[in-house]
Amino acid sequence: MMISPETYYEMKLKGKSQEEIMKKIRSLKIQIGQLKRSIENADDIVCEVFPGRLTRLKCNRDYLERAIQAYEEAGGEYVRSKAEQKDHDFNEALDSMSQLMFTIGGFFCGQETRTFTISDDQVLVDVEKTMISMDKGEEYGPYRKEEFISGIKALHIGEWKRTYNDLLVMDGTQWELDIYYNNGRRPTKISGSNAYPYNFEDLKEFLEVEMEDEEYEQNQD
């Protein structure tokens, strides 16, 4: 059973010195990295446990945030790693996002493209599905601008690699994520073929993409 960040603080951090808290921070970062690699490696054979790896990763991220807060409360000055700074800068840039496009599909299941265009404080959504020749045209989605950007930030896409490929699988599922900005920033383009970042299913759920990849979902357990 996972505990809340405040319970973690009470049990693991309260009354500890800066050095002791920093040791916890390093340990949590190692655990998060191991869980990411395990989820993304489709060849890993993992015994099913509860809670699943993605749940544990998310909880450890919450514990890490609380531990950093505790470290600073104890008088320390936390310095982000290069990877953390990259993710932080990416999330800051999302405030200038103008459009997000997500495409997923394959030869046998067709292709779905969802385009999210930010217009003032609303988000226009366009959905195209090639297998059933569907194009709903633009309509207002279930998000406002602020909650849409917050939802994308919560995915920590700044931690993702730019390409994910499993060269041993032919055909299968291909996907692409493109993010455009209104301030001249170069577009972010991330793609994959039969391989995925650790929280890929969270992205699909947030964007309301229903196309499933059974191999990916099994590997999150």
pLDDT along the chain (221 residues), means of 10: 93 97 98 96 68 95 98 97 97 98 86 94 91 57 89 98 89 94 97 96 94 52 54
Asked if residue 87 belongs to a domain, the reply is no
Do 47 and 132 lie in one domain? The reply is: no
Q: What pLDDT is attached to residue 134?
A: 54
Do 203 and 142 lie in one domain? The reply is: yes
Close Cβ partners of 30 (under 8 Å, ≥ 6 residues apart): none
Asked if residue 104 belongs to a domain, the reply is yes
Do 138 and 63 lie in one domain? The reply is: no
Residue 41 and residue 194 in contact, taking contact as beta carbons nearer than 8 Å = no
Question: How many other CB atoms are there within 10 angstroms of residue 10's CB atom?
Answer: 12
Asked if residue 125 belongs to a domain, the reply is yes
Tell me the CA distances in angstroms from 136 to 27, 116, 132, 147, one per residue in order.
48, 13, 12, 23
Close Cβ partners of 126 (under 8 Å, ≥ 6 residues apart): 114, 115, 117, 135, 136, 137, 138, 139
Q: What pLDDT is attached to residue 218?
A: 46
Do 197 and 122 lie in one domain? The reply is: yes
Q: What pLDDT is attached to residue 49?
A: 76
Asked if residue 32 belongs to a domain, the reply is yes
Structural domain span for residue 16: 5-79
Q: What pLDDT is attached to residue 210?
A: 79
pTM, two decimals, is 0.87
Asked if residue 88 belongs to a domain, the reply is no
Q: What pLDDT is attached to residue 216?
A: 46
Asked if residue 190 belongs to a domain, the reply is yes
Angle (CA) 23-2-14 rounded to 5° is 40
Do 124 and 51 lie in one domain? The reply is: no
Residue 68 and residue 78 in contact, taking contact as beta carbons nearer than 8 Å = yes
Asked if residue 122 belongs to a domain, the reply is yes
Q: What is the CATH number of the domain that holds 122?
A: 3.30.1560
Do 211 and 111 lie in one domain? The reply is: yes
Q: What pLDDT is attached to residue 145?
A: 96
Q: What pLDDT is attached to residue 131?
A: 65
Number of domains in the chain: 2
Do 112 and 29 lie in one domain? The reply is: no
Do 73 and 150 lie in one domain? The reply is: no
Asked if residue 84 belongs to a domain, the reply is no
